[in-house]
Structure 1
Amino acid sequence: MTEAHLDPADPPPQPPYEPALEECCGNGCDPCIFDTYAQALQNYRTELKAWQSRHPGIDVPSR
């Protein structure tokens, strides 16, 4: 299906921004931007799975 069939009251979750390797400062920050991204990606996948169960048969539009 297309984006036109999506319910505006329950939009699909958006994937998190993936930082580029050069965005890391290399100082051993805790959390590192890649740790933050990994957690955001895990949350996104959980939210996406829940959204897909509420909207079977609808593909998530690409960015």
Structure 2
Amino acid sequence: MKKKHHPGSNQKTLCGHEATKQEYLQMLKGHPVTCITCRKLIKAEEEKEALVIEETNNLTNQQHA
């Protein structure tokens, strides 16, 4: 079974594989991602965003105190 990747930039997958234009457009439509590396990168990015939001909220609360 072929792995399903998350789209990255410049017609590449998030994990760095090159994709044809047709493959890249298919990724943009959305589908369940089965590539383990892409899934780990997505999870790491989500955790990073959550930390940034938490830090921003903490700084805002400190400034208003």
Do they fold alike, i.e. is TM over 0.5? no
Question: TM-score, normalized by length of structure 1?
Answer: 0.44
Q: Which has the higher contact order (CA 8 A, sep 6+)?
A: 1
Which of 1 and 2 has greater Rg? 2
- What's the TM-score, normalizing by structure 2? 0.43
